[in-house]
Structures are given as C-alpha cells and as structure tokens.
Amino acid sequence: GDITGVTVAGDGSIWALYRGERHWTSGSFRQDNTMSNSTRIPENVVMQLHADTGQTITAWGAGQFSMPHMITVDKEGAVYVADVGRHQVLKFSPSGKLLLALGQEMKPGLSNNHLCKPTQVAVALDGTIFVSDGYCNSRIVKFGADGQYLGEAKVPHMASGATAVVHSVLLDECTDTVLVAAREAGKVHAFRASNLVYKQTYDLPMRVWALQMGPYGKALALTWEVHKDAMIVEVGSGEGRAAWVVPGLQQRYPHDVALTAAPTALTGAAERLFALLVAPVCGPPGCGPLLKYVLVPVDYQLPKNFDGGSKGEGIVSKVSPVMPAGWRELRWGRPAFILVPAAVLGLGVTLAARQALRN
C-alpha cells in the first residue's frame, strides 16, 4: 500500500500515513468531489515508528479514514490528519482519540465550516491551525486552536481555468510567514501568518509536492516531474539557491518529505547527520516502505567500509554493515549545484504524463 504522509514529532519519532489497499484512481471521486467508495479503510492508517529501527511504536485509525493525505504532529504531540475523502482535518491524541474535526464529514464545500479535499495542516505554538484547502478551493484557511474560523486567503497567480492544487503548507513563526505549495504551477506562495496578507511568490523548477523546514532555518521544497529526478530546493529568491537531486524517484511519485536525525548505526553517539524521509505514492500495488536517505556533507568522510557515491552526486549507495539496510547516501553541501532555468533542465512533460501524476 501507499505511504502518503510523513512527519517527525518533537520526541524524534516518525509518524506516517498508510492507505492500506485504498488507492486514488481516476474513479475515486465523482464530479461533485464526493467519494465513489464511501467505506472506511479497514487497516490501521496512522503509524508511529522508532526513528532508528523503524519498528512500529503504535498504530491506530482502522475504520476512521477514507483517503488520508498528509500528517502533522504539534508541539503537544497531537496528531492531525488531512483526509481528502472525508473533506476534513482530524485532530487526535497520540493514542488515537479524536479531539477535533474541521470541515463537514463527506460533504465538500466552500464556506467557513466546509473544506474540499484538504491536503495538509501546519500548527502554531499557540495551537492556531493553518489548512491547505486543497484540491478544490485553492485557499489557505486559518482556525483557532478550538476550531473557530479565523480567516482565509485565496492562492494567487492562477491562470483562468488552470488547476490550482494547494498541496502543502509550512509555518515559519520566526518570520510570521506561512508558505503554501501550488503544485501544478511550480510555485510557493508566502503569506503573513498573523493576518494572511499576501507577501510574495517563489518560482521553482518543477511541481511542488511538499514543504519542510530545513536544518538551518531555510524552507525546503520537494519538487518532481514524471520521468525526472526529484529535487530538494531551497525556497527563496535569486539564483544562488541550493538544490539537491534525490535519486531513485523518477517513477516513485514522491508525495511528502521529512527531515530527522540519521540512524546511530551510521553516526554513533556523536553529532548526528540529517536524514531525509520520502513518502512515495506509486498507485497499485503500492510502493511499500518509506524511502530513506542519509544527508552527507560534501566534506564529510564516511567510514572506510562504506561503499557509496562520490561527493555531490547523490548516488544510491550499496548496503553495507555501516549503512543500515534500506538507507541511501545523498551528499548534502552548498552548493551541490546551482539552479538553472527550467527550460535548460528540460522539465516539460506530455499531457498524458501529467494526467498520470498521482495525488
């Protein structure tokens, strides 16, 4: 089955969303955005995993979700799931008790108390909730910690008739900024978090699937086009933005991304490297587990018995006694390369390929 969302909690544990045997196909939704199959996913959907071993700590959510999309954990440990099938954002305790529901169950709409295929949530330290809404409404909606509607902003710069999926949201409270990813447009829009006033737009080289705060205070975007290498790109202005190719994802439909500490089997108890977790959505029969990369600085010397890629190339490593099974090396430095115009990268895809993109 597909793992569609991944995030890291304050305690370092990994939380992931698993759709089981439920796959998003062209027939999953009717023209009015209601689901063709109203049954709930019978398997556990929400999983908490040990960061080093990947072992399951807890799993819950059987019979509660229709088409879970992305997952968020706030500073108190509460778990938020955006379910595009239910047209709701659901807040749970870490053990799976439902605490809050935003939107009307199975009823898409555009109002203060309706959502339509919401995609993700960002939560402020005071509990304020920002929802990227989503596949239908192309807006960001702000709610209080108690679920009270506080305001919204329409995503700008969308051509008439163009698809405007707001696929991810990221909050940077240090700069009073909320970022939203306009996937098909290849743009990240910045709003003032306090009042949702539009600030500016950043153009990126490919479709933008997920946003993540980087290790040094810079927002990062997971970008990808079918048959192309995925890239992690710094969100910002100018030609000096850093970017890194993430290998092995050309046909894996990377959907969400998270940063965490690399496994101690590689770094030991000393200062740990960063790890990149990618949730792929391949469609039937699914992609299997999370894809895991160790981010290795360009000047970092790996142990002698590690057989991996050379500097700056991000080549998929071979499994060794040092690198745990399933992990890959991705060189992380400034710059791995400088962004070049999209036309130079040859990022165009055919209409048929675009229609094949997963959700």
Rounded to whole angstroms, how far apart are CA atoms 3 and 327? 17
23 known ligand binder? no
* Of 297 and 69, the one with more pLDDT: 69
157 vs 137, higher pLDDT: 137
- The rounded distance, in Å, linking the Cα atoms of 127 and 144 is 7
pLDDT at residue number 52? 78
* φ and ψ at residue 16, rounded to 5 degrees: -140, 155
| Predicted pLDDT at 81 | 99
Q: Is 183 annotated as a binding residue?
A: yes
What does the pLDDT average to over 174-198? Answer: 96
Burial class (CB in 10 A: 0-12, 13-18, 19+), 202: buried
Q: Where are the domains of the chain?
A: 3-355
Instruction: Tell me whether residue 50 is annotated as binding.
Output: no
Residue 340's pLDDT is 22
Q: Quick one: which H or E segment has residue 353?
A: helix 351-355
Indicate whether 39 pLDDT > 80.
yes
For 255-272, write each residue's pLDDT tens digit.
999 998 877 766 666 667
Distance CA 179, CA 278 (A): 20
Q: Do 246 and 254 meet the contact criterion of CB atoms below 8 Å apart?
A: yes
> Among 86-90, 197-201, 204-208, 290-294, whose mean pLDDT is lowest?
290-294
Cα dist from 17 to 1, 68, 71, 191, 342, whole Å: 10, 7, 7, 28, 32
**157 labelled ligand-binding:** no
Residue 237 has pLDDT above 80, yes or no: no
Confidence (pLDDT) at 321: 28
| pLDDT recorded at residue 265 | 67
What is the separation of C-alpha 189 from the centre of its chain, rounded to a whole number of angstroms?
Answer: 16
pLDDT of 219 above 50: yes
| 69/83 Cα distance (integer angstroms) | 6
135 labeled binding residue? yes
Query: Is pLDDT above 70 for 67?
Result: yes
CATH superfamily name and code, 3-355: TolB, C-terminal domain (2.120.10.30)
Least confidently predicted of 3-17, 116-130, 152-166: 152-166
Averaged pLDDT of the chain? 81
- 207 pLDDT above the threshold of 80: yes
For the cut 80, the answer to whether the pLDDT of residue 334 exceeds it is no
- Quick one: which H or E segment has residue 351? helix 351-355
Residue 312 is predicted with a pLDDT of 31
Whether 65 contacts 83, CB under 8 Å: yes
Give mean pLDDT, residues 191-210. 95
User: Which residue, among 255, 290, 214, 253, has the nearest Cα to 50 in the 3D structure?
Assistant: 290
What does the alpha-carbon distance between residue 222 and residue 231 come to, in Å, rounded to a whole number? 6
Greater confidence (309 vs 306) lies with: 306
20 neighbors 42 (Cβ within 8 angstroms): yes
pLDDT at 165 over 90: yes
Structure tokens belonging to residue 94: 């870490």
Q: Is 6 labelled a binding residue?
A: yes
Contact 36, 28 (CB under 8 A): yes
Residue 284 has pLDDT above 80, yes or no: no
Burial 5-40 (b: 16+ CB within 10 A, else e): bbbbbeeebbbbbbbbebbbeeebbeeebebeeeeb
Please report, for residues 87, 90, 260, 264, 271, the alpha-carbon distance to residue 52 in angstroms, rounded to integers and kept in the order given. Answer: 34, 28, 10, 7, 15
Residue 330's pLDDT band (cuts 50, 70, 90): low
Measured distance CA(304)–CA(271) in Å, rounded: 19
